[in-house]
Amino acid sequence: MQTHQAKRVEITIEAIMQSRLTEALLKAEVTGFTVLPVLGGSGRSGAWTRAGEIGRASGMVQVICIIRPEKLDKLLEAAFSVVERHIGVVAIVDCEVLRAERF
Amino acid sequence: MQTHQAKRVEITIEAIMQSRLTEALLKAEVTGFTVLPVLGGSGRSGAWTRAGEIGRASGMVQVICIIRPEKLDKLLEAAFSVVERHIGVVAIVDCEVLRAERF
Amino acid sequence: MQTHQAKRVEITIEAIMQSRLTEALLKAEVTGFTVLPVLGGSGRSGAWTRAGEIGRASGMVQVICIIRPEKLDKLLEAAFSVVERHIGVVAIVDCEVLRAERF
Amino acid sequence: MDQILSLAATNLLSPIILSFALGLAAALARSDLSVPEAAAKALSIYLLFAIGFKGGVSVSAHGIDAKLGLTLVAGIVLSAVLPLIAFALLNVMTSLSRLDAAAVAAHYGSISIVTFVAATSVLESSGIASEGYMVAVAAAMEAPAILSALWLISRGGGNGQRMDSDLWREILLNGSIVLLVGSFFIGWATGEKGLEEISSFIVAPFKGVLCLFLLDMGLVAGRGLRERSDVLRPGVLAFGILMPVIGSLCGLGAGLLLGLSSGGVALMMVLSASASYIAVPAAMRVALPEANPSIYLTLSLGVTFPFNLTLGIPLYVALATAMTGA
Amino acid sequence: MDQILSLAATNLLSPIILSFALGLAAALARSDLSVPEAAAKALSIYLLFAIGFKGGVSVSAHGIDAKLGLTLVAGIVLSAVLPLIAFALLNVMTSLSRLDAAAVAAHYGSISIVTFVAATSVLESSGIASEGYMVAVAAAMEAPAILSALWLISRGGGNGQRMDSDLWREILLNGSIVLLVGSFFIGWATGEKGLEEISSFIVAPFKGVLCLFLLDMGLVAGRGLRERSDVLRPGVLAFGILMPVIGSLCGLGAGLLLGLSSGGVALMMVLSASASYIAVPAAMRVALPEANPSIYLTLSLGVTFPFNLTLGIPLYVALATAMTGA
Amino acid sequence: MDQILSLAATNLLSPIILSFALGLAAALARSDLSVPEAAAKALSIYLLFAIGFKGGVSVSAHGIDAKLGLTLVAGIVLSAVLPLIAFALLNVMTSLSRLDAAAVAAHYGSISIVTFVAATSVLESSGIASEGYMVAVAAAMEAPAILSALWLISRGGGNGQRMDSDLWREILLNGSIVLLVGSFFIGWATGEKGLEEISSFIVAPFKGVLCLFLLDMGLVAGRGLRERSDVLRPGVLAFGILMPVIGSLCGLGAGLLLGLSSGGVALMMVLSASASYIAVPAAMRVALPEANPSIYLTLSLGVTFPFNLTLGIPLYVALATAMTGA
Ligand SMILES: Nc1ncnc2c1ncn2[C@@H]1O[C@H](COP(=O)(O)O)[C@@H](O)[C@H]1O
Ligand SMILES: Nc1ncnc2c1ncn2[C@@H]1O[C@H](COP(=O)(O)O)[C@@H](O)[C@H]1O
Ligand SMILES: Nc1ncnc2c1ncn2[C@@H]1O[C@H](COP(=O)(O)O)[C@@H](O)[C@H]1O
Ligand code: NA
Ligand code: NA
Ligand code: NA
């Protein structure tokens, strides 16, 4: 089937920063994203898990954006402005998509 | 370690369409897939979140298939036949896998 | 923006093996990982879903590691030692990251 | 009139309604208050189980009414016919496309079980009895409206309908129908003795659980209004308030014809007036994916549900008691 | 015999069993009814906490029975020995591999706490008293069976066993054991006074919560049967019904030898008859990953659990009361 | 002194405290016992709704006290001032950076609602009355401490503060504040009549729910201690026990000045002594992301919370009753 080049950007970020990130993405003209829950993890700031937690200080989400390659830079700048002072991981992968008109 | 070429197909689709999609995948001889929950997202049809929802009309899942490259086309056709009239995103990435005999 | 080459390793593994896997990863000097919940799936050992389950025998998680390319082999060996006798899928993708100093 | 007002006032100041209002206000003010999805579903399972069980016990206590069959048929007919009225009204009052109008219409033929639950709780507080089998009528009214809507589309030459067997099963064996009908039969089979065993679970805390559930409904409705209220053009909005009133009058007619008790008539009105927001939206996403969900979700949950909850129910109860002379 | 039948009939028409049947039927009919995982876990935490606490309170009320220690030892021995019987039986009745047979056998030595809970609820309804410490016996019987199974494998030259310290900890400090034993001690320490403070939480709604939990168990069991019933060859199926009966007889012998009350004997039978579906399956996935989980999960949850719930418990209770002359 | 000891002993042997201890022990022993996140959140929603509602009902019953306004102001002042004391103390007792010290300080000005809930439950058991509006005071004390901490940082030339309007909204319309205040008003509006309708949901099972919630808190606190106890240098640890005592004395002074009832004084002490672990940590992650969360989370949840729960509350209650001569 006909596929089209795109980028898959996966931003793992603190849950409390999610709305700030998605607002920045929308301002950067990202047309869509998907948010995945995260159960736990580990990094320089130690290990954590959401089990039994009610507080919002710990816990992360993954925001996944599929975008046209030419929009990548704008997106990364927007994402970076939010994660800059915060913990979080941004990973970019080349991908192909169906229905390119959607992006 | 010895790795093998494969494709990672990630299909973000409405939760109500999940069983139809996975049936189509199994018919297309996909040997396995993994379903991830999705918390929320945004796209042309607006923003949504599952928080507090009991209805099944909104909400998506991600179906992830790792397959041998030669099976990709058949999988995409199967997936496309299901998502065609529906909202949803299909993203394909080149990957490498351990234990290729499993795919 | 300035990005750096890295590898994204996604290990889909039985939930009961999660702690053994992450311990092996930390021993293999992986600096971080993120654990995603999995709703269900299908493979050679049949289809499953977590809906309504209280037992821990079924059910998987996805452990995602972003690492420097040179650390890949050590990671794969660690992962393999854990998944060897168990069901599970390991998929490796080339990616780019911001803030390489973190990995 | 006085009765309506006092009933409405009592109703508006009940913890149930105020919990809904709290949720609505919190969501509109963009508070991060939220009920986890799993908890909301657990609450809805509890409510369906309890309401079905209690309906069954009541049937086991009073015996089957000769009218049960007729009432079920009336419910099914109402569910099938109301979408046609709704569709006609939408064509007159709004500029919605044929597809969107049919999808909206389906919702108004079907029912909202929480509205039904809230109404039974008002009846109980007012000491008005009703037929226990109205729960079964509620279940029977969930699906027919969907068929009417698909028929409206196919008649118009649309290619929306995809009534494969999967869809049939999903509609008829929809989780909430199965739980409602199943617990109805359990209640029927175990009767008062069964109720006694579990009444401190399904009767005593019922209203409190309903409060938390309505808090959640308010949060979801408020979020919907905040994000999608642009679809509420004046005509659409007016429909969302006019249609339940029309529906309730059809329910009133049916209830009186059937000779139901005043509580039964009131519940028939409530069922006809209420709009689905669980079964039908899901069926529409499968069968008519091109219809815009923002419209039907916002109308049903953001306009008609709050209207029924606050003003509709007291109005219907007052009318029903007035017309049955109770 | 009459008593068995009437007990079985009452049992079969209780809301608890009917809720299980509803779940089973819904899953087999492929309804989308489901209880969220988090809600199911919350229900199980509630049940474990309540049953442990009540057991502890009962011990605090009646003082420690001289038999407590002996009963614990008997439970541990039963849990360790029953897998050997099960293994022998599986070799005769089925063509399962040595590995699969050992894995299945482990389940039948261990116990199912919900079966225990359902049995206590039947005893209570029938006004039959039992020793409060049977909860502790239940906890003690969870793990020994696992060791027997691993021993069976290692004896056969298998390389399955990986009893690292992590696995030990997981088995012995398994969430349900810790919660059961912990709340048992809390109940013991706080006694009747503690119970009074929280009885409207852990006593009054208990049976109703059990209904919802069994609805969920029915859904999970039905789903398992729908998808994996091909593993249920006739011999395997027969084992799933014969083994609990054999187990119950061993439990009967032990209970009589120990001189337990009729309720205590019945519970000893139930524990011996029931098969684990939480602790042991998880341990098997870690220690014997090559054993096929479809077999042991389907047998334990899809065959033995429903058998015990519907026919087994009334049978065991009747036998226990008959043999203890109560 | 005797009274303190006996109160402490009763307190320590209550199911509530023992449930917390069970969770703590299970986590420290690395059991896999865990409460699902959704269930924990549902429990907290229940507790907030119930405690707010009951506070409102009590205000509706006793009328507004002339002191309500003053007590709110006192609470706000305490919340704003206590961080300054805490900050000074941290500078003396520990070697924490300015940033970390300010972040910790913010927690001690704000409050822990579960500590408050546990204290009301102790007061109730002891038959000591308190002002219903103390719930509103609790809500008012959540946020001011955050501003003080940000002011401490900005004064020191730090660039931490990012008080954008989003952050303001998040702090002030934080889910737990909204639910607490909202249900307080619902309770106030519906009064005794409203309470009657839902008391078998929010009153009867309250303590039992609190047990399960504290089990979960114990699990989370224990996990935190297991993984992050290295941040608990002696000075930091000592602060976590000294600061609540100092806070409680400030609360005692305020309560006596205001002329609150002995229960009211005790609650004022508890609020001042308790440290936030929900609202403030989240605000700190947004506003001061460079501050180390391990320190403030471990101190607040792992040290001060258990201290208050076990020893603090009986001490504060005893002091309050002694000083008010009740
Ligand atoms: N290399 C990594 N791969 C995947 N996820 C990571 C990685 N490093 C950090 N994370 C995630 O980001 C969180 C914060 O990381 P850190 O700032 O290093 O503590 C961790 O708890 C993980 O969930
Ligand atoms: N570019 C994208 N990247 C990631 N997810 C997307 C994207 N576009 C849409 N989605 C997901 O698909 C859903 C439906 O998209 P749409 O059909 O554009 O409304 C959204 O709510 C997102 O969850
Ligand atoms: N090709 C695949 N792509 C994605 N996930 C898979 C694949 N194969 C297996 N899985 C996941 O791994 C689990 C176990 O696989 P298996 O060992 O083949 O039964 C499945 O239930 C899926 O969740
Ligand atoms: Na209707
Ligand atoms: Na057994
Ligand atoms: Na404080």
- Residue E213, min C-alpha distance to chain F (Å): 15
Which letter, b or e, does each residue of F29-68 get, where b requires 16 or more Cβ atoms within 10 Å of its Cβ? eebbbbbbbbbbbbbbbbbbbbbbbbbbbbbbeeeebebb
Tell me which residue in C50, C52, C85 faces E289 most closely, judged by beta carbons.
C85
Distance from CA of D293 to the nearest CA of B (A): 8
DSSP structure class, residue F14: S
Q: Copy the structure tokens of residue E74.
A: 């008997």
Instruction: Give the whole-angstrom CA distance, residue F218 versus residue E202.
Output: 20
**Residue D77 neighbours by CB distance under 10 Å:** 14
**pLDDT for F62:** 85
CA distance B75 to B73: 5
With beta carbons less than 8 A apart as the criterion, state whether D44 and E34 touch.
no
Burial of A37-61, coded b for 16+ CB within 10 Å and e otherwise, reads: bbbbbbbeeebbbbbbbbbbbbbbb
CB D213 within 8 A of CB D43: yes
Residues E37, C53: C-beta atoms closer than 8 Å: yes
> Could you report the per-residue pLDDT of D90-125, keeping only the tens digit for each?
999 999 999 999 999 999 999 999 999 999 999 999
Mean pLDDT, residues E20-33 taken together: 97
> Can you tell me the mean pLDDT for E81-100?
97
Asked if the model's pLDDT at residue E195 lies above 90, the reply is: yes
Q: In Å, what is the CA distance from D282 to each residue of D166, D170, D182?
A: 13, 9, 21
* Chains interfacing with A (3 or more CB pairs < 8 Å): B, C, F
**pLDDT of F159:** 58
Helix (H, G, I), strand (E, B), or coil: what is residue D260? coil
Interface of B with D in 14-43 (CB under 8 A): 14, 16-17, 19-20
Sign of the CA dihedral with E206 first, then D34, A91, and C48 last: positive
Residue D237 pLDDT exceeds 90 = yes
Check residues D183 and F154 and name the one with the higher pLDDT: D183
In this prediction, residues B32-54 reach a mean pLDDT of 94
Distance of residue F36 Cα from the nearest chain D Cα, in angstroms: 10
A36 within ligand 2 shell (Cβ under 6 A): no
C-alpha pair distances (Å), D281 with each of D46, D76, D104, D139, D289:
22, 19, 9, 16, 10
CA of C19 to the centre of ligand 3 (A): 19
pLDDT band at D2 (very low <50, low <70, confident <90, very high): confident
Task: Enter the tokens of residue D125.
Answer: 């507080």
The pLDDT, as a whole number, for residue D6 is 79
**Number of Cβ atoms within 10 Å of the Cβ of B61:** 21
Rg, chain E, Cα only = 19
E12, closest residue in chain D (CA to CA):
D190
Tokens 């970390």 correspond to F100
Burial class (CB in 10 A: 0-12, 13-18, 19+), E10: middle
pLDDT per residue as tens digits for the range D206-236: 999 999 999 999 999 999 999 988 999 999 9
Which candidate, E292, E276, E280, places its Cα nearest to that of E228? E292
**Which of F38, F174, F176 is opposite residue D39, by nearest beta carbon?**
F38
User: Among A57, A56, A59, A66, which residue's Cα sits nearest to residue A37?
Assistant: A59
As a whole number, the mean pLDDT across chain F is 94
The number of the ligand 2 atom at minimal distance from the alpha carbon of B60 is 23
Comparing E87-101, F163-177, F190-204, F222-236, the range with the smallest average pLDDT is: F163-177
Summarised one tens digit per residue, pLDDT across range E282-326 is 999 999 999 999 999 999 999 999 999 999 999 999 999 999 986
Nearest to B63 by CA among B92, B100, B86, B42: B92
Query: What one-letter code names the amino acid at A44?
Result: R
Cα–Cα distances in angstroms (integers) from residue D181 to residues D146, D205, E19, E26, in the given order: 19, 22, 12, 11
Which residues from chain F sit within 8 angstroms of residue E37, using beta carbons?
36
The complex's ipTM works out to 0.96
For residue D279, give the ligand nearest its CA. 4
Could you count the other beta carbons within 10 Å of the beta carbon of residue B45? 13
Q: What is the pLDDT of residue D159?
A: 58
The alpha-carbon gap from B94 to the nearest alpha carbon of chain C, in Å, equals 7
Q: Which amino acid is it at C73?
A: D
Please indicate whether, in this complex, the C-beta atoms of E202 and F212 are within 8 angstroms of each other.
no
Pocket of ligand 1 (CB under 6 A): A 12, 41-45, 48, 60, 87, 89; C 31-34, 64-66, 102-103
Q: Which pLDDT band holds residue D238 (cuts at 50, 70, 90)?
A: very high
User: Nearest by CB to F37, which of A14, A46, A50?
Assistant: A50
Nearest CA in chain D to F39: D39
Q: Which stretches in chain A have pLDDT values below 50? A: none
Q: To test the ligand 2 pocket, which listed residue (B89, B90, B92, B93) has its Cβ within 8 A of the most ligand atoms? A: B89
Does D35 sit within 8 Å of F198, measured CB to CB? no
Which of D103, D109, D54, D123 has its CA nearest to residue D81? D109
Q: Does E31 touch chain C (CB under 8 A)?
A: no
- Is D40's CB within 8 Å of B19's CB? no
Query: Is pLDDT at D190 greater than 60 in this prediction?
Result: yes
Q: Which of residues 139-198 of D touch F (CB under 8 A)?
A: none
- pLDDT of E222 higher than 60: yes
Cβ of residue A79 lying under 6 Å from some atom of ligand 2: no
pLDDT for the residue D11: 82
Q: pLDDT-based confidence at F56, cuts 50/70/90? A: very high
Instruction: Judge whether C85 is closer than 8 Å to chain E, CB to CB.
Output: yes
Indicate which ligand has the atom closest to the C-alpha of F250: 6
> Which one-letter amino acid corresponds to residue D8?
A
Residue C101 has pLDDT above 70, yes or no: yes
How confident is the model over B88-103, as pLDDT tens digits?
999 999 999 998 787 8
- The residue to mutate among A12, A39, A61, having the most atoms of ligand 1 within 8 angstroms of its beta carbon, is A12
Per-residue pLDDT tens over the stretch F93-109: 999 999 999 999 999 99
Mean pLDDT of B29-43: 95
The whole-number average pLDDT for the span F52-78 is 92
Ligand 6 midpoint to CA F61 (Å): 28
**Mean pLDDT score, C10-16:** 96
Cα–Cα distance measured from residue A13 to residue A32, given in angstroms and rounded to the nearest whole number: 17
Q: Tokens representing F233?
A: 């240098």
Rg (CA), chain B: 15
D54 touches chain B (CB under 8 A): no
The residues that bridge with A37 in the sheet, in sequence order, are A61
To the nearest 10°, report the CA torsion of F200, F201, F207, F208: 110
Q: pLDDT tier at E4 (50, 70, 90 boundaries)?
A: confident
Nearest-angstrom CA–CA distance, F119 and F122: 5
C-beta of residue B59 within 8 angstroms of C-beta of residue B36? no
User: Which residues are paired to F222 by β-bridges?
Assistant: none
Count Cβ atoms below 10 Å from residue C63 Cβ, excluding itself.
27
Asked if pLDDT for residue D62 goes beyond 90, the answer is no
Nearest residue in chain F measured CA to CA from A23:
F166
| Beta-bridge partners for D174 | none
**Can you list the positions of beta strands (E) in A1-103?**
4-14, 33-37, 40-43, 46-49, 60-67, 88-97
Crossing angle of helices E113-125 and E37-62, in 10° steps, is 60
Q: Could you report the per-residue pLDDT of E114-169, keeping only the tens digit for each?
A: 999 999 999 999 999 999 999 999 999 999 999 999 999 988 776 555 667 888 88
E201/E182 Cα distance (integer angstroms): 18
Q: Is the per-residue pLDDT at F223 higher than 80?
A: yes
Q: Which residues of D touch F45 (CB under 8 A)?
A: 35, 39, 212, 215
Q: Are 3 or more Cβ–Cβ pairs between A and E shorter than 8 Å?
A: no
For B85, nearest residue in chain A (alpha carbons) = A99
| Cβ-nearest to B39 among A6, A35, A94 | A35
What average pLDDT does the segment E262-275 reach?
98
If pLDDT is split at 50, 70 and 90, which confidence band does E21 have?
A: very high
> Of the candidates B8, B32, B102, which has its C-beta nearest C42's C-beta?
B32
Half-sphere exposure of residue E192: CA atoms within 13 angstroms, side-chain side:
3
Q: Is residue F161's pLDDT more than 60?
A: no
Residues D206 and D124 sit within 8 Å (Cβ to Cβ): no
**pLDDT at residue number E164:** 78
F and A make contact (3+ CB pairs below 8 Å): yes
Distance CA D326, CA D129 (A): 10
Q: What are the C-alpha distances in Å from B42 to residues A26, A32, B46, D53, D100?
A: 9, 5, 5, 40, 21
Give the number of residues written for chain C. Answer: 103
The whole-number pLDDT of residue F160 equals 53
Could you tell me how far CA F35 lies from the centroid of its own chain?
21
